[in-house]
Amino acid sequence: MTSRSVGRTPCVRAPKIRQSPDEHTPSETPGDTVTQPNRTAIGFDEGSNGAAHWFGELTRRRSAGPISAQHKVLPRSLSPETLAVHAGTYEDPITGSVGTPIFQTSTFLLDDASYGAFSDGALRDVPIYTRYGNPSQWSVQEKIAALEGAESALVTSSGMSAIANTIYALTNSGSHIISAYDVYGGTYNLLREDMPSAGREVTFVDPTDIEAIRSAVRPETQVLFFEALTNPLLKAPAIRQIAGIAAAANALLVVDNTFLTPVLMQPLALGADVVIHSATKYLAGHSDLTAGAAAGRRKFLDRIWAQTLRFGGTLEPLSCFLLERGIKTLPLRIEKQNDNAREIAKFLASHERVAEVYHPALGGDRYADLEHADYRGYGGMVSFEVNGGDAAALAFMRNLTVPYVATSLGGVESLVSMPSNTSHSSLTTRQMSLIGINPGLVRFSAGIENARDLIGDLRHALDALDEEGVR
Ligand SMILES: *Cc1c(COP(=O)(O)O)cnc(C)c1O
């Protein structure tokens, strides 16, 4: 650390997280467990002329964290594009590293601050053990919190970890939960299989039927759980109205925002209490990791964090790095995926081998009640029914050359699959038709490829069905 540290005058930057005892200021003598200015100071460049000065005053804002003095905290009023790149970055005072280092460690040196955290119950705010917290997690958590307009966020080892920990944390035995009968399969199984034995009763409703949701409310209802856009039929529940029902019932609204991402909808601003992500999908965006996230007010996130300590499911530092890097391009990717999905939906609606197309940008009766002002776009998913049923849909998918035939979604590469033989294969034909999953339904996750190439490939794969004699 020679020329670098001289140029960066580390002495005027906020102190690093770990202080050896002899670095303590008089107010931090052993036994003084509350004062931890090194961990609570906000901003990254107090008084120096460092390169990071360009945000000026904007940087000196408090956050509910957890963060350290080195984590970049930006006001939530900045644009998603800016927050996605900069929010939460750990600015290492020793090396001047532009990106967040990977804190590949399971544990941290114990010092007075750690012991203070133990005695004060402030274990979420001090790096002690990675299941409890790690600066790599804090970076990506602050980025997600900033994008969702939340006080605090938590990253977990999968979307299901975020969902299970959140639902357990926010309900007690004897309570009641309302959700959608066509919620993500893993969520449905958790609600259906595990909640009753844990003493939570669940009512499943049509997420677009506001009156059904309202009349499902009971005195003991604690959580309403809905998806911002549903899988695979892209139903768009009225989140703002459901938030009103939850508030009137003194219950919490949890929204799984995986399909829209905060770039397109911020459920917290519409009245939701906690937002969930399968970060495996759009947030990470490259189909290369499994992760989840929850975001909301610190008091809720502290409970979810405590639940995650007990159940496990923390996110590994290397995956935090990959997720943080992925989110930097989220707004760019989403814009392209929106455009591609919209163009694909329009093309499919005009093709005679396609019976039905599901995408909010197409409008129509299905989306008559959509509060367009609540969306900045409708995402990269398109579902459609191939004439000829499941056999024709399978033949169609085999004819595609650009997208991969695989489950999952939200990656830079287009993915295509059929719900009936993957995500929804455990349902009976009757259950599927109740949800609206008709024979021949295909789900397309638009990547960031060229729209003309994707549409050309789709056209070829559909036209070839006739040549192959598939009916
Ligand atoms: C994939 C998905 C999940 C589960 O996330 P994992 O990361 O696979 O655990 C939850 N909700 C939705 C909407 C999803 O698409």
User: For residue 291, how far is its CA from the centre of ligand 1 (angstroms)?
Assistant: 9
Pocket test of ligand 1: the residue of 156, 160, 322, 407 to mutate, having most ligand atoms within 8 Å of its CB, is 160
User: For residue 135, how far is its CA from the centre of ligand 1 (angstroms)?
Assistant: 25
| 40 pLDDT above the threshold of 80 | no
Residues 306 and 174 in one domain: yes
Closest residue to atom 2 of ligand 1, CA basis: 278
The secondary structure element, H or E, covering residue 463 is helix 451-467
Pocket test of ligand 1: the residue of 156, 179, 184 to mutate, having most ligand atoms within 8 Å of its CB, is 184
Whether residue 262 contacts residue 279, with contact meaning beta carbons closer than 8 Å, is answered with: no
| 55 pLDDT above the threshold of 90 | no
For residue 169, being part of any structural domain is answered with: yes
Atom of ligand 1 nearest to the CA of 231: 13
Mean pLDDT of 61-80: 88
The secondary structure element, H or E, covering residue 470 is none
pLDDT of residue 58: 41
Mean pLDDT of 129-138: 97
Residues 231 and 376 in one domain: no
User: For residue 398, how far is its CA from the centre of ligand 1 (angstroms)?
Assistant: 25
Where do we find the tokens 């990254």?
44
Residues 296 and 175 in one domain: yes
Atom of ligand 1 nearest to the CA of 292: 7
pLDDT of residue 332: 98
| 47 pLDDT above the threshold of 50 | no
> Of 277, 298, 329, which residue constitutes the final position of a domain?
329
Length of the chain as a residue count? 471
For residue 153, being part of any structural domain is answered with: yes
* Boundaries of domain holding 256: 137-329
> Of 329, 364, 396, which residue constitutes the final position of a domain?
329
Where do we find the tokens 């970076």?
139
For residue 117, being part of any structural domain is answered with: no
Atom of ligand 1 nearest to the CA of 162: 9
Residues 453 and 356 in one domain: yes
Pocket test of ligand 1: the residue of 158, 235, 276, 281 to mutate, having most ligand atoms within 8 Å of its CB, is 281
Residues 348 and 416 in one domain: yes
Percent of the chain's residues with pLDDT above 90: 79
Please list every protein residue whose CB sits less than 6 Å from any atom of ligand 1: 158-160, 184, 186-187, 227, 231, 256, 258-259, 278, 280-281, 290, 292
For residue 384, being part of any structural domain is answered with: yes
pLDDT of residue 36: 33
Q: Where residue 353 falls among pLDDT bands split at 50, 70, 90?
A: very high
Percent of the chain's residues with pLDDT above 70: 87
More confident residue, 207 or 16: 207
pLDDT of residue 63: 61
Q: Which residues pair with 154 in a beta bridge?
A: 294
Residues 282 and 172 in one domain: yes
**Domain containing residue 406: CATH number:** 3.90.1150.10
Q: Which two tokens mark 357?
A: 């197309």
Residues 368 and 261 in one domain: no
For residue 190, being part of any structural domain is answered with: yes
pLDDT of residue 52: 37
| 12 pLDDT above the threshold of 60 | no
> Of 313, 329, 345, which residue constitutes the final position of a domain?
329
| 33 pLDDT above the threshold of 80 | no
Interatomic CA distance for residues 189 and 305, integer angstroms: 22
Phi, psi of 433 (to 5 degrees): -75, -25
Residues 340 and 315 in one domain: no
Q: Which of the residues are catalytic? A: 131, 184, 256, 281
Residues 313 and 294 in one domain: yes
pLDDT of residue 369: 87
Q: For residue range 415-459, what is the model confidence (pLDDT) as tens digits? A: 999 998 988 888 888 888 888 999 999 999 999 999 999 999 999
For residue 43, being part of any structural domain is answered with: no
For residue 281, being part of any structural domain is answered with: yes
For residue 262, being part of any structural domain is answered with: yes
Q: For residue range 151-199, what is the model confidence (pLDDT) as tens digits? A: 999 999 999 999 999 999 999 999 999 999 999 999 999 999 999 999 9
Burial class for 261, CB neighbours closer than 10 Å (0-12, 13-18, 19+): buried
Mean pLDDT of 268-295: 98
| 408 pLDDT above the threshold of 70 | yes
Interatomic CA distance for residues 350 and 450, integer angstroms: 19
Residues 264 and 230 in one domain: yes
**Phi-psi bin for 150: left (phi > 0), alpha (psi -120 to 50), beta?**
beta
Residues 412 and 307 in one domain: no
Atom of ligand 1 nearest to the CA of 186: 4
Closest residue to atom 8 of ligand 1, CA basis: 159
pTM comes to 0.87
Pocket test of ligand 1: the residue of 183, 191, 278, 319 to mutate, having most ligand atoms within 8 Å of its CB, is 278
User: For residue 327, how far is its CA from the centre of ligand 1 (angstroms)?
Assistant: 17
Q: State how many domains the chain has.
A: 2
Residues 389 and 406 in one domain: yes
Distance of CA 8 to the CA centre of its chain: 35
Strand 152-156 relative to strand 292-296, pairing: antiparallel
One-letter amino acid of 276: I
CB atoms within 10 A of CB 447: 25
pLDDT of residue 349: 97
Atom of ligand 1 nearest to the CA of 258: 13
Mean pLDDT computed over every residue of the chain: 88
**Domain containing residue 168: CATH number:** 3.40.640.10
Q: For residue range 211-228, what is the model confidence (pLDDT) as tens digits? A: 999 999 999 999 999 999
Closest residue to atom 4 of ligand 1, CA basis: 159
